[in-house]
Amino acid sequence: MNSRPDPLRIAVASDHAGFELKTLLADWLRAQGHAVDDLGPGDTASVDYPDYGYRLASAIAGGDAEFGVAICGSGIGISIAVNRHPAARCALVSDNLSARLAREHNDANVIAFGARLIGADTAKDCVAAFLAARFAGDRHIPRVDKLGHPHFDKEPA
């Protein structure tokens, strides 16, 4: 899976609904040779997904991780929480094509899953495609730049 010369620094975080998938993916990523920082939670006791989404976004923004994996029951809430930070670009995906395109077209640095909606093997396949892909640059650069600095007061060109 790891086509890169060096291990990647990957942070993982979830809420209680995503705990089992998070743990499985963290162990799998470590077995692939990556440095994984599990940002919690440590068990299935009820927690609030925004707290862990913000924690993950902060790890990306602070340079503690190159990439992140965020998981909650649907994937929606935690992806919204991660995307509140301008340094994070989180894509909620459910297949390897959307995972690959999130990197190639959107320079996503976090991938999100709904633990209640995706199987472990599909999640692994998505993570593998996400980490193997590279940002295509070129025509996508100005669009990605706008993600960190939105201009809601301007009409589209």
Catalytic residue numbers, as ranges: 72, 105
* C-alpha to C-alpha distance for 113 and 93, rounded to whole angstroms: 6
Contact 107, 144 (CB under 8 A): yes
**Strand partners of residue 13:** 70
Total residues belonging to the chain: 157
Contact 122, 94 (CB under 8 A): yes
Q: Which two tokens stand for residue 32?
A: 């692939």
Q: Which two tokens stand for residue 139?
A: 């025509």
Q: How far is CA 154 from the centre of its chain?
A: 29
